[in-house]
Structure 1
Amino acid sequence: MLIVHRAERTDVLADVLAGVLSAPTAPADPFAPEIVSVPARGVERWLQQHLARRLGTGSTSDGICANIDFPSPADLADRIVAAVHSGSSFTLTGTGRVDDPWRPGRLVWPVLRVLDASVDDDAFRVIARHVGAHTTGRDGRSGPGGAQALADAEYRQGRRYATARQIADLFTRYATARPAMLAAWAAGPTAGGTDLDGTGEPVAKGMIWQPGFFRAVRAEIGVPHPVEYLDQVCARLREDPQAGDLPARLSVFGPTRISESLRRVLAAAAEHHDVHLYLAHPSPVLWERGPSSLRTAGAPRLLTPPVPRGQWKRCVPRHPLLASLARDVGELQERLAGLADRDLHHATADGPRESLLHTLQAGLREDRPHPGSAADDGTVEVHSCHGPQRQVEVLRDRLLHLFSADPTLQPRDVLIMCPDVETFSPLIRGAFGQSGLGHPAFSLRVRMADRGVRQVNPVLEVIAHVVALAAGRVTASEVLDLASAEPVRVRFGFADSDLDTIREWLGRSGIRWGLGVRERQRFSMGAFAQGTFAAGLDRIALGAVADETDGQWLGAALPLDAVESTAIDLFGRFAEFVNRLDHVLSQMDSSATPARWATILADGVRALTAAVPGEDWTTTAALRTIGRVLDDAPAEHGALAATSCELRLADVRDLMSGLLVSRAGRSNFRTGELTVCSMVPMRSVPHRVIILLGIDADTFPRATRIDGDDVCGTRPLVGERHPRDEDRQAFLDAIWAATETLHVYFTGADPITGRAIPPAVVVSELVDTLDTLTGADGPAAGAGVVRRHTLHAFDSRNFTDAAVRGIAGPFSHDTSLLDGARALRSAHGEHAVAVPARCVFAEPTHEPVATGARDIDLADLIAFHNSPIEAFFRQRLQIWIPQEEQAHADELDITLGGLDEWGVGDRLLRRMLDGASLLDCQAAELRRGTLPPRMFGSRQLRTISDAVTDVHDAVVPLRRHATGDGGHRTADVLVPLADGRRIHGTIADVFGENIVTATFSKLRPKQRLAAWIGLLALAATPTVGSGSAAPSVTSAVVVGRRRSRTGGVALSRFGVPDDPVPILEELVAVRDLGLRKILPVTADLAAEFVESGRRSGGLVGLSAARRSFGHEYGESWNRFVRMAFGGDVSATVDFDDLLIDRIGDRDDIDWGAVGLEPDPDLGDDAGAVFCALARKLWIPLLNHEVDA
């Protein structure tokens, strides 16, 4: 007898199931197990707990649920078929197909053997082309065309296993969805020589290879596919009550889709066994309008043939949500038509109709909405947020409000379902369960139910990473990521500081990719070893015993500078890690049998990983998983058994990637913690609060993509899988699973641009329905149930009473963010808004120190006048605005970047000025590993060397002429000032009575200004007779490259003024002011303004400075300028922002004391502080500059 039990909610069905299980079967056997098939592990866990409170002997709440087997629907069908076909007893445990070669895990291997053996068969030419069989270069010749073809063949041949896996999955899918089609394929083509697709039509031309390939696999395995004897099994079930020794009662709980093979098996078993189907159907009214599931009394149980989806005449629901979301259960009802002996509806107790949620559910039950019948009471809420992170932040605060509003609500009463768990899981882990932190949500423990192997077993993730490394270039960043994995860190003792040191070594030693020559040879670069780990480790090892500045090297390795003796142990551990990794990767170069690959991967586990203390099971589980997967490749079946089924590296990579997908375990559900899972495992399990997180248009429902090789996908039948309809059904099930509260979260605005993003279709349909129920119309539609949240959690609205609808007090619980909101409000008035940082710094700060209390470092004085804006942050505020962190470069550049080119030139120039020959300097650079490979590096090194030689040849005569008998000195500077402070520092490059400085940089205002201030300081330092050892000085010369595309040398010479002390006093006064408020000037802009103005007038100079500011490399890109005048390092700043400050604007600043005066020639900008400062800094410099 086949009995259909229907209810809107699964808790009602679970109570019915408990009642059925309480009744003994005839004949009664106390040891006979009950069979309850469930669609997901989460449902199994919940059902066990629910039944444990209903079943018992002395009472109905013994808390024990035992002797019940919970197979999946597919497993149930397989076990019944196997038991009846073999004549054995239906087993309680196991799948019944452990040794079945048609089992999905084993089917891939005979498919792979057939794939290898049939590449010469014209019938399978499409497969041979797909896997790159027999592909050569054009006309078999080498050359660009042939090389490209061979590279394409290599890529295609790397998808052998993936192709075999896809074909095996297709055959498995056909066996459950269209068993008759697969059985007909096994029997051979029809009399007309064609194979049919299960709908009565010939197989499409692009898939015509599949029937023949299936027959080839059937011949290779040598064992009939279960679909071939499915009809005989069903016949025996109908005729023989003892067939398969099945239990007297079978239950299938909560399916929304029943495969064709299961439908046939259950229909046949129902002739002599009680088969109970427990269906969660949203509307009894809609069910009654659809096809009847009852068969005619006394008539045989007939299986109606499946109907193509395009021809199905669906009973269209009246409720718009049912019309959109309930297609899956509608198709299920169609497949059950005429099969049931009894059809029982079990009513769900009505909740209070004044609740919006229960009104929504009542409308679904009755298949009609109830317009204007409910108020927005918070039982259904839709939250629009700015991106995933903000969704989690809003969810966290909203949950806390729910818990505080209802003390009886516990974390176990809340279920969070998310279609994109991989994206949201790290955000959720960061927002909850962080012991020791201040936010109240950190005390909530969260259970991530859909955890993949990469989260559960990091050892297996490491081996998958190693396999991926072997298939690639083995880049420095990839190896560093591997070294950062916890099992590797434990094995080699890498601490956080160790990894930082290793990261620094990788960058400074020039390691890019490849452990050694072996990886380079795969890319025809075996002759270039620079940039490999082998070359880099040699540099680090030499750096421990030698210094780079000594100009010595060993072989092709130049010592790495600054390798501390305390890091030698770390180097040894890192070198051991690299050597072991190299050994493991070397074994993966060639094809091997699955057994050999199992050994290689197991060796990798032992060589590279160690379990975290207390988690030794991870290593054991990883080894067991590797052995199980690769031992699933027996060769004892079929004609090709003697043929070795070898796997390439790419095949193993695809195999390992399949192990890392998320899988839900039954132990991860219903643990008493806040549970987070995908939409499937707990889709219909009732909870007091249901949270749907991340219901975004780009992820839910899934886009419908037809597999071009799937026969079922080209002409689908009613009842077959359709991902988009499955997602819609899951959304409907979630609505019914909520007993008190339903919340939906989605991204409604772009977190960067603020652009509105339309919600997912299912969310829009839900909002439209809720608007109908609440009577909202026009502009108010959606405004009630949709809560639109702020971009930032620290927005003051989150701390304002009733700012979020339904929350009487402040929405946020974060006290640290409250402090920030208060600070913004107090600084900027009632409504906190983003303001440029210059508004904060416009007010002069207090004096940094009392006059005379702190001497001035000459280097600080020079740095300030090069960029007063940057100096305010660094010298006054003692903060540093970091540049955007650049990831380690893994590519071998064919040309050096600007900074890298400068670094090479600077090193060459410094060593040549110290007396080294150009050849020795070039040899050292070639061994450094930073130059591009081969001719690219040689050509660029030659160009840099020419420029270095020009500067060197220009500066050496100047130094030689200036030295005379005085020699080369480093002079101390100590200049007493009128207020009691002193300028102190040292100046290198003093030759006789001249300062002669050389730089590989292009000669810019910064170098000129540094030479000028250094000359002033040294000239103002008292002579030996006054107690100072400073020599007299007459000039300063700075030599660099010319700022032009033609190259050449630029030289700037400065003479000593008659009295340098007053000029220094003014420079110090400007610095004192610049440490109280930001001064809007930089050396480059000031020089451009003054020099152009002296030639053509002040207005022309101002235009020149404006152009310089907006140049591709101008100060408008300076992060300190942007922070000071735009409020953010990414803000856009105009040159006019620097002209806002005017002399005389403030009475508390004595502009005259620093010598700043307006320039009437500048018109409206005559009083700009920028212009006065530029003149103050640069006119004295230009007056004493010669030979510029």
Structure 2
Amino acid sequence: MGELTPGLMLVHGNRAEQLRDVLVAWLRHEPLAPLEDEVVLVHSNGIAQWLRLALAQRDTGCGIAAGLDFLLPSRFLWQAYRAVLGAALVPERSPLDKAALVWRLMRLLPQLARQPVYAPLARFLADDPDMRKRFQLAERLADLFDQYQVYRADWLDAWARGRDELIDGRGRTGPLPPEQAWQPALWRTLVADVGDGAGPLGRAAVHEAFMAQAARQAPGARPAGVPRRILVFGISAMPGQALEALAALARWSQILMCVHNPCAHFWADIVPDRDMLRARYRRQARRPGMPEVLDEAAIHQHAHPLLAAWGKQGRDFIGMLDDVDDPSVREGYRPAFAALHRRIDAFDRLEGEALARATLLQQLQDDVCDLRPLSETRGLWPAVDPAADESLRFHVAHSPQREVEILHDRLLDAFDRDPTLRPRDVIVMVPDIEAYAPHVQAVFGLYEADDARAIPYALADRGQRRADPLVLALEQLLGLPGLRVGMSHVLEWLDVPALRARFGIREQDLPTLHAWIADSNIRWGLNAAQRADWGFQDPEGDGAALHTWRFGLRRMLLGYAVGPDAPAWHGIEPYGEPGGLDAALLGPLDALVGALERHWRVFSAPGTPAQWLQRFLELEADLFLAEDEQDDYTLKRFRESAQEWFEACDAAGLDEPMPADIPAEYCLAQFDQAALSQRFFAGAVTFATLMPMRAIPFRRVCLLGMQDGAYPRIRVPADFDLMAGRYRPGDRSRREDDRYLFLEALLSARDQLYMSWVGRSIQDNTPLPPSVLVAQLRDHLDAGWRLVAGAGGDG
């Protein structure tokens, strides 16, 4: 095992393949010990899977992908804080993290609402008998303070010291709006409520303590738990705190950060708010001919319009990297890369024959890389023949269903014309995968595998809560007090293997049960008591109102006992169909209805966190029995989430009775949490959500749902979000994320970028506008390129 030289090494490049090659060459050059794991920081499961497969390649990779620990940066950095400061000072989970803050706020809000400073909150919390408004407000406030800890640590520090003020991106201090005076007061209350522990409170305070300790500790004395090497790949945005922490860790660890940079030249001053960037160094040189001071009116003469319009998020990240990219350090590791025949600025530009053969898509990508203004674009590239050049394609459809149908036809044609194109070479991204998943399944799932029209496909990024029938059944059962329990509900639950297994019902028994349930006139309601909850009284008073499940079971049992032709007994008409060996199904059905009645009664009453934990575990044990590994994993995850919720409430001191839907919502939300272990590449066409930091190279990148209003996605900030309208470099913005993501998608396509949108009304065929990003791209193409003589089309 050789010694690794600590330090922060940055490698910039505009293509993920080149960055991967640099990473592989370095790992081969300086391998770790045989049983030592490589720590790799990524921001999405897609990048993790792509990098894992790339490292496993025999010719271009390492031949094996083992001993790789892929982590999210936030999770890794908290582990690093604990390693440097000690587990005694830094808990495994911060008491001021979002998940813990929700339940602390749930306890505190009713007490605080009585104080005059919290009058805005008191008005919102008025008339809240079921605690839903309190829970929603606690969630929003916990999320807000979680964001403050990452992006506005200086605000929280000032507030904790009693200074109710705001600090802008230029370091200037200003007054806090009077109507928001409750926010500093609430933060001070939260800090005081957590108590005076042995260590710093909150992520921001822990980060400051970590930085101070890192500055005091000797560079060679690597703390236990800090890895010898840290790899950072595919990340195009990161909070300033995270970059500072990585730079501090470079005192002990070797950190190799592969940065996706769309442009080979310095481009920070072509995007608005460039005066807020205060980087100490500048890694890239200006493009030849660009003035040192770029006048606002002259930007279009020296910059690429699309990079200026879409690149703000990436510009901020690269600007923050420049602040820690010391040129003297860079010159120290440059010779090591030169010995590997690798450049630390791995930009790939068109040259020679490649320049002459370039498609429209490649020309556009080269323009971005070279920061080429439109005036140069017009003179450089030849006329475009749309019939021969299919690298950029726009499609207008009347509905999402038709979008997917057109895509299916176009892909069939592409596979037919190019035998080297494989399904795994295609990615399809949409703004909301849940909205498009039914259409994808209806079109791509229409054909059997042996049909020539079948295209293998995989849906990524789907939340388990919407896609797993077991989780869907759990969600409905946790909401029993608000459920009518109709015939369709129970029939759907019987389709879940884990529920059938608990009651000993076989799949082949379902048609018989369906017929009995329908013919015995069961409609809705477990019994008369549940009907009464919905305002329907039982005139007979015997607990089995007409058309309830208890009423239907009485008919079935009476029919089995006396036969189908017997007269009514106590007003109950026998249903005589159950008989023979099939009659044994009445026992499991009666047991199921009995279990539902018990849990309905228990769930209808509010309970403390301890009571809800016990109720949830009893419901899971009474109604489900895992049939396979997937069911076992799902039920285990549910039990763990219920336990985590109870522990969070216990740590926050919350012991107040609450209705079922509040703990249920928290436990179910855990099934939608993304994980780096999610399957992404499956040898098929991948359908995924448009997510930041997913610049994975594919031969064909297809974007669906690119209509106006759907993309860039709109997220209206809360009225009390003080970050809104107070921009700082590095801030996360859904709209800026989506703009940069669109640019990343354009740059990651190798053969074709395919875009479609609902551009015609399905009712009257009136035109509907595309996304502003698509419109900007089309306008740019119209301004920079010309068609060959006689060519038609709209670009």
With the shorter chain as reference, the TM-score category is 0.7 to 0.9
Query: C-alpha separation between the residues in 1 aligned to 2:88 and 2:60?
Result: 35
Query: C-alpha separation between the residues in 2 aligned to 1:704 and 1:313?
Result: 31
Residues 1:375 and 2:360 are matched in the alignment: no
* Alignment-mate amino acid for residue 235 of structure 1: A
What is the deviation of 1:422?
0.9
What is the deviation of 1:378?
0.9
What is the deviation of 1:262?
1.1
Query: C-alpha separation between the residues in 2 aligned to 1:198 and 1:74?
Result: 24
**Residues 481-531 of structure 1, C-alpha deviations (whole Å, 9 max, x = no match):** 43444544555346553465266347x45x34x322333444454556445
* Alignment-mate amino acid for residue 339 of structure 1: V
Give the equivalent residue in structure 2 for 1:576.
591
Aligned counterpart for 2:617 among listed residues 589, 595, 602? 602
The count of corresponding residues between Structure 1 and Structure 2 is 724
Give the equivalent residue in structure 1 for 2:527.
516
* Alignment-mate amino acid for residue 739 of structure 2: R
What is the deviation of 1:280?
1.6
* Alignment-mate amino acid for residue 428 of structure 2: I
* Alignment-mate amino acid for residue 611 of structure 2: R
Give the equivalent residue in structure 2 for 1:630.
643
Q: CA 1:600/1:435 → structure 2, altered by over 3 Å: closer, same or farther?
A: farther
Residues 1:264 and 2:229 are matched in the alignment: no
When structure 1 is superposed on structure 2, of 727-736 and 416-425 the one drifting more is 416-425
Residues 1:255 and 2:261 are matched in the alignment: no
Q: CA 1:611/1:780 → structure 2, altered by over 3 Å: closer, same or farther?
A: farther
Query: C-alpha separation between the residues in 2 aligned to 1:354 and 1:460?
Result: 49
Q: CA 1:29/1:607 → structure 2, altered by over 3 Å: closer, same or farther?
A: closer
Query: C-alpha separation between the residues in 2 aligned to 1:664 and 1:690?
Result: 23
* Alignment-mate amino acid for residue 267 of structure 2: W
Residues 1:18 and 2:33 are matched in the alignment: no
Asked if the contact 1:43/1:681 (under 8 Å) is kept, the reply is no
Asked if the contact 1:452/1:662 (under 8 Å) is kept, the reply is yes
Query: C-alpha separation between the residues in 2 aligned to 1:330 and 1:313?
Result: 20
Q: CA 1:629/1:542 → structure 2, altered by over 3 Å: closer, same or farther?
A: closer
Q: CA 1:335/1:654 → structure 2, altered by over 3 Å: closer, same or farther?
A: same
Residues 1:212 and 2:173 are matched in the alignment: no
Query: C-alpha separation between the residues in 2 aligned to 1:726 and 1:599?
Result: 42
When structure 1 is superposed on structure 2, of 246-255 and 371-380 the one drifting more is 246-255
Asked if the contact 1:474/1:519 (under 8 Å) is kept, the reply is no
**Residues 931-978 of structure 1, C-alpha deviations (whole Å, 9 max, x = no match):** xxxxxxxxxxxxxxxxxxxxxxxxxxxxxxxxxxxxxxxxxxxxxxxx
Asked if the contact 1:112/1:164 (under 8 Å) is kept, the reply is yes
Query: C-alpha separation between the residues in 2 aligned to 1:289 and 1:710?
Result: 28
Partner SS for 1:689 = strand
**Residues 789-809 of structure 1, C-alpha deviations (whole Å, 9 max, x = no match):** xxxxxxxxxxxxxxxxxxxxx
Partner SS for 1:201 = strand
Give the equivalent residue in structure 1 for 2:711.
700
Query: C-alpha separation between the residues in 2 aligned to 1:603 and 1:314?
Result: 69
What is the deviation of 1:455?
5.7
Asked if the contact 2:150/2:203 (under 8 Å) is kept, the reply is no
Q: CA 1:282/1:636 → structure 2, altered by over 3 Å: closer, same or farther?
A: closer
Give the equivalent residue in structure 2 for 1:149.
none
* Alignment-mate amino acid for residue 320 of structure 1: P
* Alignment-mate amino acid for residue 655 of structure 2: S
Asked if the contact 1:38/1:252 (under 8 Å) is kept, the reply is yes
Q: CA 1:65/1:238 → structure 2, altered by over 3 Å: closer, same or farther?
A: farther
Alignment of structure 1 residues 881-892 onto 2, 5 Å: none
Query: C-alpha separation between the residues in 2 aligned to 1:65 and 1:20?
Result: 15
Give the equivalent residue in structure 2 for 1:338.
323
Give the equivalent residue in structure 2 for 1:649.
660
**Residues 151-201 of structure 1, C-alpha deviations (whole Å, 9 max, x = no match):** xx324x13444433333222222211112222333x3312xxx25466633
Asked if the contact 1:415/1:674 (under 8 Å) is kept, the reply is yes
Aligned counterpart for 1:504 among listed residues 518, 532, 537? 518
Alignment of structure 1 residues 268-667 onto 2, 5 Å: 268-270=248-250, 274-285=254-265, 287=267, 295=280, 318-342=303-327, 345-350=345-350, 351-352=354-355, 353-367=357-371, 368-369=373-374, 370-371=377-378, 373=382, 374-376=384-386, 377-432=389-444, 436=448, 439-442=451-454, 444-454=455-465, 457-489=468-500, 491=503, 492-493=505-506, 497-498=511-512, 500-501=514-515, 504-505=518-519, 508-509=521-522, 511-512=523-524, 514-526=525-537, 529-530=545-546, 532-538=548-554, 553-555=568-570, 557=571, 559=573, 573-612=588-627, 615-634=628-647, 641=653, 644-661=655-672, 663=674, 665-667=676-678
Greater relative contact order structure (CA < 8 Å, 6+ sep): 2
Give the equivalent residue in structure 1 for 2:3.
none
**Residues 1066-1100 of structure 1, C-alpha deviations (whole Å, 9 max, x = no match):** xxxxxxxxxxxxxxxxxxxxxxxxxxxxxxxxxxx
Asked if the contact 2:556/2:574 (under 8 Å) is kept, the reply is yes
Alignment of structure 1 residues 121-132 onto 2, 5 Å: 121-132=115-126
Q: CA 1:674/1:564 → structure 2, altered by over 3 Å: closer, same or farther?
A: same
* Alignment-mate amino acid for residue 148 of structure 2: Y
Asked if the contact 1:284/1:366 (under 8 Å) is kept, the reply is yes
Alignment of structure 1 residues 991-1140 onto 2, 5 Å: none
Asked if the contact 1:42/1:666 (under 8 Å) is kept, the reply is no
Q: CA 1:482/1:716 → structure 2, altered by over 3 Å: closer, same or farther?
A: farther
Query: C-alpha separation between the residues in 1 aligned to 2:299 and 2:715?
Result: 23
* Alignment-mate amino acid for residue 243 of structure 2: R
Please say which structure displays the higher CA radius of gyration: 1
Query: C-alpha separation between the residues in 2 aligned to 1:62 and 1:540?
Result: 67
Q: CA 1:436/1:650 → structure 2, altered by over 3 Å: closer, same or farther?
A: closer
When structure 1 is superposed on structure 2, of 205-214 and 579-588 the one drifting more is 205-214
* Alignment-mate amino acid for residue 359 of structure 1: Q
TM-score, normalising length from structure 2?
0.80
Asked if the contact 1:97/1:103 (under 8 Å) is kept, the reply is no
Query: C-alpha separation between the residues in 1 aligned to 2:723 and 2:559?
Result: 64
Residues 1:111 and 2:105 are matched in the alignment: yes
What is the deviation of 1:3?
4.3
What is the deviation of 1:571?
5.3
Asked if the contact 1:197/1:203 (under 8 Å) is kept, the reply is no
Give the equivalent residue in structure 2 for 1:47.
51
* Alignment-mate amino acid for residue 633 of structure 1: F
Give the equivalent residue in structure 1 for 2:772.
761
What is the deviation of 1:667?
4.7
Identity %: 25
* Alignment-mate amino acid for residue 734 of structure 1: A
Q: CA 1:282/1:417 → structure 2, altered by over 3 Å: closer, same or farther?
A: same
Residues 1:746 and 2:740 are matched in the alignment: no
Residues 1:154 and 2:154 are matched in the alignment: no
Q: CA 1:561/1:454 → structure 2, altered by over 3 Å: closer, same or farther?
A: same
Asked if the contact 1:77/1:265 (under 8 Å) is kept, the reply is yes
Long gaps (5+) in structure 1: 90-95, 136-152, 298-311, 786-1188
TM-score, normalising length from structure 1?
0.55
Give the equivalent residue in structure 1 for 2:151.
177
Give the equivalent residue in structure 2 for 1:875.
none
Asked if the contact 1:463/1:604 (under 8 Å) is kept, the reply is no
Aligned counterpart for 1:5 among listed residues 1, 6, 11? 11
Query: C-alpha separation between the residues in 1 aligned to 2:360 and 2:517?
Result: 57
Query: C-alpha separation between the residues in 2 aligned to 1:75 and 1:406?
Result: 43
Q: CA 1:436/1:20 → structure 2, altered by over 3 Å: closer, same or farther?
A: closer
**Residues 847-905 of structure 1, C-alpha deviations (whole Å, 9 max, x = no match):** xxxxxxxxxxxxxxxxxxxxxxxxxxxxxxxxxxxxxxxxxxxxxxxxxxxxxxxxxxx
Query: C-alpha separation between the residues in 1 aligned to 2:74 and 2:415?
Result: 40
**Residues 712-762 of structure 1, C-alpha deviations (whole Å, 9 max, x = no match):** 235332321110111121111111111112212222223454333222222
- The RMSD of aligned alpha carbons is 3.8
